[in-house]
Structure 1
């Protein structure tokens, strides 16, 4: 890494020119114009269809500006091929570093080889990039803990540790091409599996394997369609008591399907439904007594961690990490810095106001 940084230092003056807004296809936020001596950082985010990724992109740009860097922020709009071409374009334009939240964790070998050939360091942001040695660091939340937080909420709300049950539960997972999906699943199932084995939890659909419950691109309408199918096939004379959902967008899709099936009334209340990312629509749903829970991950802090890491690398300092052994991408153990997630439900959602994540007005 230090050799790579030495090369970059010698190139800093040559690549400090701002990237134009027309480069790399669809983008937002543009380039900053402050203190050009910091160089330029390319930022590749996966989608603009999710509120959290808009917040991530904005936060990364703002933090890099403060540290004196120019930026080029692009969104792949859920298309792995578009994202790959965007990264290739950023490499050709001579960015000093790349921060990448991959759409497809296994689709970036070519662009990242180009980055390595150009001595450009790569930080894998939130989603671990797989199958390449050309990723230098990983910043994320403790994703297995996210799954545990969701599972613990279900266990607590249903009283499973007090022997209550049996209850009917359906299981949803994230996108099959996102490595985080595996960690969320493993974390949640580590806690739920004993109750499945004891029959306190029953999955009427029988869909308990990860490949049966994934939701491509974390898409809410896709989750809604699957939930409607499950209800039609397996719940003619049954009631859903809980739904393990890994992400707020999926949760809202599930709620839509349940509402269409008559849930959400005093006679047929909604089940316990988990979520993740504390998106505004889901926080409002929690306040309204619909979605039960979400996992709050302050992505502003994640952005700060990533930008501090970039600054360390480009300043020839050793970046701070707290996990060197648990994130094997199939080629290497990627040094990681992990942040901790937090449970949010109707009892404590005001933490989002206290942290300045949302205002009181936004939650009305």
Structure 2
């Protein structure tokens, strides 16, 4: 494994249920108001509204998990709406507002460094949630195994496009996430492990490859539209990095009536639209990251820091580099699961979405929805 991440123990074989039980056991002692939680104030600062999961899933679930883990804690959720400088101002406001801790989903990994330094000067601990942040101190980071995400995405892409030949390679576009993000770097690394051998063998040809500032679906749409123009609509597939960029790619394909004909692979987050597009046949997969599990892990680490000032060594699985801390930010790494058309019911069983929410509009006529709605 590269120097980006040093694992203390492998999480690839860890089950979600076992990890949830471990987190519950870790927080079972002193989790009530008697543990000093009453009156604490925690700010959760989200990066944007375009990555839908942060608004619909992570914010509410963290708030609920924090109340369970440390009752009486006030959680204030704010959103930078894609403006990294605004997020730095929100950190300043949180500090002046009496924050006891900040849970930060960085809008930009490098601009966030200024926020980390301000928090450090004010002695307000920061827990990084999902996104990395460079140039300052953070107590911990709660993140899904990003390399595994990319490997799952790359495995599906290799399965779909690996049957090309040097004489007739499969032509694809690669739409990456926000450049410089730890996640983007690791997703690409994981995808490359499966795709680079096929590219070098001439079985796959990459016609276009570009990063997507701020993970903005509209920018992803523009990128794919340009690639379609450049290739005269001759694309065999699009490999993306999350459901938002997948949605942007599908919007571009719709403009040429190519949705469902050109596979979009590499979804992530199990967004409602992503699940719907999978059932419609527009999107091939999504990497499911149980939001409740991440929220509970972040809540437990936040509670630990509020009570003791430190992150338990038992909670650290590895380190995420941030150009400031050595060997990096202590990280809690969580397992992922890839979903396809025949396994999307997982999000219903986990209570993320209901069939009523999923099976709306044209999606209601898909075989899966016809079956589920009848039941």
> After TM superposition, is the score higher than 0.5?
yes
5+ residue gaps in structure 2? 1-32, 360-375
3-state SS in 1 of match to 2:358: coil
CA displacement, residues 321-346 of structure 1 (integer Å, 9 cap, x when unaligned): 34234x11112211100101110110
1:146 aligns with 2:149: yes
Partner of 2:226: 229
- The whole-number CA distance in structure 1 between the counterparts of 2:245 and 2:50 is 13
For residues 38-49 of structure 1, the aligned pairs below 5 Å read: 38-49=39-50
- The whole-number CA distance in structure 2 between the counterparts of 1:110 and 1:203 is 37
For residues 130-145 of structure 1, the aligned pairs below 5 Å read: 130-132=134-136, 134-145=137-148
8 Å CA contact 1:96–1:121 kept in 2: the answer is yes
Q: 1:215 is matched with which residue: 200, 209, 212?
A: 212
1:203 to 1:188, Cα distance in 2 relative to 1, 3 A? same
| Alpha-carbon distance, 1:229 to partner | 1.0
Partner of 1:301: 293
1:89 aligns with 2:83: no
3-state SS in 2 of match to 1:153: helix
Partner of 1:22: none
Q: 1:98 is matched with which residue: 96, 99, 102?
A: 102
Partner of 1:248: 243
3-state SS in 2 of match to 1:168: strand
Q: 1:110 is matched with which residue: 114, 131, 134?
A: 114
Partner of 2:4: none
Which structure has the highest helix share of the two? 2
CA displacement, residues 80-126 of structure 1 (integer Å, 9 cap, x when unaligned): 11100010111112211110000011113333223222221111110
- The whole-number CA distance in structure 2 between the counterparts of 1:151 and 1:175 is 18
Partner of 2:315: 321
| Alpha-carbon distance, 1:162 to partner | 11
How many residue pairs match? The answer is 319
5+ residue gaps in structure 1? 1-32, 208-212
8 Å CA contact 1:36–1:70 kept in 2: the answer is no
8 Å CA contact 2:238–2:262 kept in 1: the answer is no
1:57 aligns with 2:50: no
8 Å CA contact 2:168–2:203 kept in 1: the answer is yes
CA displacement, residues 106-159 of structure 1 (integer Å, 9 cap, x when unaligned): 113333223222221111110111122x21111100111111111111122345
Partner of 1:4: none
For residues 147-226 of structure 1, the aligned pairs below 5 Å read: 147-158=150-161, 160=163, 166-205=169-208, 207=209, 213-226=210-223
CA displacement, residues 194-216 of structure 1 (integer Å, 9 cap, x when unaligned): 000001111234x4xxxxx1001
- The whole-number CA distance in structure 2 between the counterparts of 1:248 and 1:37 is 38
Partner of 1:70: 74
Q: Which has the higher contact order (CA 8 A, sep 6+)?
A: 2
